[in-house]
Each structure stands twice: as C-alpha cells, then as structure tokens.
Structure 1
Amino acid sequence: MLKLIRMEMKKQKLAWFFRGAVIATILCAGFMFLIAYTEGSRDPAFGSFADALSIAGLLCRAVFIVFASVLLSRFIIEEYKNKTISLLFTYPVERKKLIIAKMLLALALTFGAMLISTLITCISILALNSHFQYIPGKLEAGVLLHTGIQLLIQTLSAACLSLIPLFFGMRKKSVPTTIVSSIIIVVLVSNNSQGFSLSTNITIPLILGVIGLLIAYLSFRNVDKTDVA
C-alpha cells in the first residue's frame, strides 16, 4: 500500500495544494486577528484562551475539509470523468487497493495540513496576544494541554469526515457535487446552537470520524465488480 501511495504522490502534482495550504493558513491567522481587532475595541472578542484556540481550530478544519474535496476530485473523480482511470486499472493490482491508496493520500495530506495550519494559527494568536492582550485571563498549562488534545482529536475526526464527499461525487462522477457536499458538511459540523456544536465534544467527533471512513468506503466497495462508466 505504501508503494501505491508513493506512486500516486509522484503522479500527482501537489505544488498547488502546498501553496494553497500556506495561503489558507495565513488567511486563517489573519482572520482570527481581525476578529480580535474589530471586536476587541468594544468587548473582548474571545471569552478565554480555550475559546480562541477552539475557534481557530474550527476555522482551519472548515477550510481544509473543502480542500480535501478538491484533492478527492483530482485524485479520483476527474480520473473517472476523463476515463484515465481505465489505464490505471490495467495495472496488476486490485482496483480497490488503487482507490484506497488515493483516498489515504488525500486523508494524510488533509490531516497534515489541518494540523500544521491549526498549530501555526494558534501560535500566531498567542504571540499576538502577548502584545495586544485581546484575550482576558492568563494562559495556564492545563488549559493549553486539554485544548491541544481536544484539537488533535477534532482534527483527526475532521480529516476522516472530509472523505464523505467522495461518496456523493462518485455517484455521478461530479466534481461540483463533491465540493458542494464538503461545504454542506462544514456547515453541519460547524453549526453552533446555544453554545453546543458537534465539534466541541470529543466523543461525537470520534464517532463522526468512523462514520466518515465507512461512508467513504461505501463509495468504492464494488469497484472491482463494476465497469468504468
């Protein structure tokens, strides 16, 4: 499987993804500071350090779930649409393994980008706060550790959830459907009602992550038995 993933990495030109990830991270950090700057002129923009870091994590996850749908579109959907997948299926390897390799590469890139982006954005928030003091209170090691663990679990869950659009995109081999479904997932997961969000609890993201993997698997479970449409 690792050989297939390395082969896919050589095949795909990923410079655009890394450039986009850098730009997205800068925009996320800038947006967080903009919130603090505009809201902080009246009241503190964030109630605590935990709130600020959680919002930063939520923002980064939302951005890269959409990025993941673009990766899945390029790796899988477009190959089906352009019929280039037929050439790939001539290799002496199970079709399912080929698709799983593509999916795992998209998952790894998404998780890595989410994690690094969240880390950089959170560090930027803390660094700027040391000068502008827009977050009330004092940062405690316990709060930082607890929030960090929570963000790690939520990031892993979000990376798994980002595979769900593959299920919808494969139905009609549609790139727009794949991307639109990712946006819908972002809205559903990020929706906040009276302080409660699906992403604020640790157990729920873990369950959703497993569901995401299962749904992604359903999108290509019969690929060995069906012809390329």
Structure 2
Amino acid sequence: MLQLIRLELKKFSLGWYIRGALISNLAIAILTYFVIYIENKEGDLMFTMYEDVFDMIGGMVRATFIVFAAVLIAKMVIEEYRNKTILIMFSYPVNRKKIIASKLIIIAMLTFMTILLSNMIVAGSFFIINAYFSIVPFSVTPHQFWEETIKIIFFAAAAAGSSLIALYFGMRKYSVPATIGSSLLIVVIAYSSNPTFSMVTFIPLQLGLAAIGVLIAYSAIRNVEREDL
C-alpha cells in the first residue's frame, strides 16, 4: 500500500496544490484581518472572545480545502475513469481495491494535514500580529492556543471525511463538474453561519457528513472489482 501511495504521489505532481494552499492561506489571513477590522470599526463586537476568531478561521479553511479535495478527486480518480487510463493500472498484478484505496488515502490525508497546518498558520499569524497592533481587544495564551489545536485536529479529521462525499457524485457519470459542484454544496450546508446559529462548530452535522464520506469511500473500494469500465 505504501508503495502504491508513493507511486500515486509521483504520478500526480502536487506543486499546484502546495501553491494553491499557500495562496489560500494568505487570502484567508487577509480576509480575516479585513472582516474583523470592519466589524470593530462599526462597533458590532462580533469577535468578543478568541474562540470566535478560531471558529471563523477554521470555517474558512475547512470550506476552502474541501473544494481542493474535490479537485484532487477529479484529477486522481474521476478523470482516470473518464479517460480510461485507470485500465492501465488495473492491468497490473495489483488488487484494484488497493489502487483505489491508495488514491483516497492520499486525498484524505492531504486534506487533513493541509487543514491542520493552515489553521495553525493563519490563526498563529493573526494573534502574533494582534500582539503588536491590537486588532481585537484580547490575546491568546499558549495554553489556549493548544486547546484550540485539539479542536482543530478533530474538525480537520471530520472535514477530511466529509470531503470524500464528492466522490459519489463524480463517479455517477464520471463528471468533473459534478465532483466540484457537490463539494460547493457541502460547503454551503456545513459551513453556513448567522448571528444566532453556526454550522461551523455543530458537531453532529460535522460527524454525520464525515461518516457519510467514509461510507462512500468504503463503498467505492468494495465495489471496484464489479465495476464495468
């Protein structure tokens, strides 16, 4: 399995993914500063605790990289089925289930790690800058930061699971637009927010979507031997 994962990583250059992640981190950081600055200037006081900042950053990061995961699914799975290039891999003396599993493991792990690192980078940079410019009227201690990191790990794992839901829609007709479009729908459902209630930290929904994504991935792996290309 590890050898298959290494071959997949070598086959699909991820330079675009790394560049996209860095640009996204910068964009999320700038948007965070801009939103909080505007809210403070208008006196709305929506960000009264450090948890509010972490929640906003976490929601934007997870939403962004669920869409990135859909692009990975499209490139690594859907396009190979649509172009029938996956027949070449299926002709090797390797179990088909392991081939598909290796692709989905890469997608889920990349999504998890990118969400985790992006949260820490954006939130860390925000509170470092806040220490000098007082963007918000509070600071965060190292202990509080590590407490939030535990939550970030949990939500990153849930997002990695829910990102696999797009696989179901893409595999129906081997459609790249359906794959990416379904990820946008997931983002709208799972990361909507209003002043009275936020889906971003609603644990039952996040766990439910993660479970659905894992079941879809399991079904795709289990049924790959019976699929007619």
Cα deviations by residue, 1:52-93 (Å, 9 ceiling, x for unpaired): 011101100000000000001000000011110111100111
**Which residue of structure 1 aligns with residue 37 of structure 2?**
37
Cα deviations by residue, 1:147-166 (Å, 9 ceiling, x for unpaired): 22212101110011101100
Cα deviations by residue, 1:27-57 (Å, 9 ceiling, x for unpaired): 1111101112222222245121110011101
Q: Identify the structure with the greater helix proportion.
A: 2
Over aligned residues, Cα RMSD in angstroms?
1.7
For residues 138 and 193 of structure 1, the distance between their equivalents in structure 2, rounded to whole angstroms, comes to 24
For residues 53 and 167 of structure 2, the distance between their equivalents in structure 1, rounded to whole angstroms, comes to 32
Q: Name the SS for the 1:196 alignment partner.
A: coil
Alignment of 1:160-175 (within 5 A): 160-175=161-176
Quote how far apart the aligned CAs of 1:218 are: 2.3
Residues 49, 20 of structure 1: alpha-carbon distance in 2 compared, 3 angstrom cutoff = same
TM-score (norm 1): 0.92
Equivalent AA in structure 1 for residue 7 of structure 2: M
For residues 197 and 37 of structure 1, the distance between their equivalents in structure 2, rounded to whole angstroms, comes to 21
**Which residue of structure 2 aligns with residue 18 of structure 1?**
18
Residues 35, 45 of structure 1: alpha-carbon distance in 2 compared, 3 angstrom cutoff = farther
Q: How many residues align?
A: 228
**Which residue of structure 2 aligns with residue 187 of structure 1?**
188
- 1:50–1:144 CA contact under 8 A, matched in 2: no
- 2:131–2:139 CA contact under 8 A, matched in 1: no
Alignment of 1:130-209 (within 5 A): 130-140=131-141, 143-192=144-193, 195-202=196-203, 204-209=205-210
Segments of 4+ moved more than 4 angstroms: none
- 2:127–2:140 CA contact under 8 A, matched in 1: no
For residues 194 and 31 of structure 2, the distance between their equivalents in structure 1, rounded to whole angstroms, comes to 22
**Which residue of structure 2 aligns with residue 79 of structure 1?**
80
TM-score (norm 2): 0.92
Residues 201, 149 of structure 1: alpha-carbon distance in 2 compared, 3 angstrom cutoff = farther
Cα deviations by residue, 1:124-143 (Å, 9 ceiling, x for unpaired): 11012112222233434554
1:118 lines up with 2:122 in the alignment: no
- 1:69–1:162 CA contact under 8 A, matched in 2: yes
Q: Name the SS for the 1:219 alignment partner.
A: helix
Q: Name the SS for the 2:135 alignment partner.
A: coil
Quote how far apart the aligned CAs of 1:207 are: 4.0
- 1:153–1:206 CA contact under 8 A, matched in 2: no
Residues 21, 141 of structure 1: alpha-carbon distance in 2 compared, 3 angstrom cutoff = closer
Identity %: 41
Quote how far apart the aligned CAs of 1:197 are: 3.1
Unaligned runs of 5+ in 2: none
- Deviation larger for 133-142 or 184-193: 133-142
Q: Name the SS for the 1:213 alignment partner.
A: helix
Equivalent AA in structure 2 for residue 13 of structure 1: S
Unaligned runs of 5+ in 1: none
1:47 lines up with 2:62 in the alignment: no
